[in-house]
Structure 1
Amino acid sequence: MVEAFMLIQTEVGRAEVVAKQVAALPGVLSSEYVTGPYDVVVRVTSETLADLQATVVTSVQAVEGITRTLTCPIASASA
């Protein structure tokens, strides 16, 4: 299994709505709207890195109101 954090910037005033829509997508473990340079932080998972990019990241990026994403694969899981 591969996990990653996705940092998402949204259109002004759309962070809460985007976070809720993203939370319902397959492969999304958690989705929170936050303050700071990014508006939403999402934890995603998939079987492989290629599958993560091809399916999970692509489906998240398709959500209306997202202007930019940064995907950060987790190098090692914490125990």
Structure 2
Amino acid sequence: MPMTVSAYILIQTEVGKAAQVAREVAAIPGVTSAEDVTGPYDVIVRAEAADIDEMGQMVVARVQSVPGITRTLTCPVVHLRS
């Protein structure tokens, strides 16, 4: 089974654009969920990619190009072992 990288992408949007941004981001290949939320961020996305470079490319080339997004913060999932 190939390893994949998962990340949460926290998105701030222009006022009134959260639902539209969530819909558009949800259609991007590699995005497994996109939810509009309340709080300091407007949309939270869960995404998967083959490796961290592919994840970065997805965020920069695809997610950040969606109209209405003002800022993103990508949080890669880590698996801590004790």
Both structures adopt the same fold (TM-score exceeding 0.5): yes
TM-score by length of 2: 0.90
Partner of 1:67 in structure 2? 70
| Superposition misfits of 4+ residues, deviation over 4 angstroms | none
What percent of counterpart residues are identical? 55
Query: What SS does structure 1 have at the residue aligned with 2:6?
Result: strand
Measure, in 2, the Cα distance between the counterparts of 1:44 and 1:36. 20
The structure with the largest alpha-carbon Rg is 2
- TM alignment of 1:35-54, pairs within 5 A: 35-54=38-57
Task: Give the length in aligned residue pairs.
Answer: 76
Query: What is the aligned-residue RMSD (CA, Å)?
Result: 1.1
Gaps of 5+ in 2: none
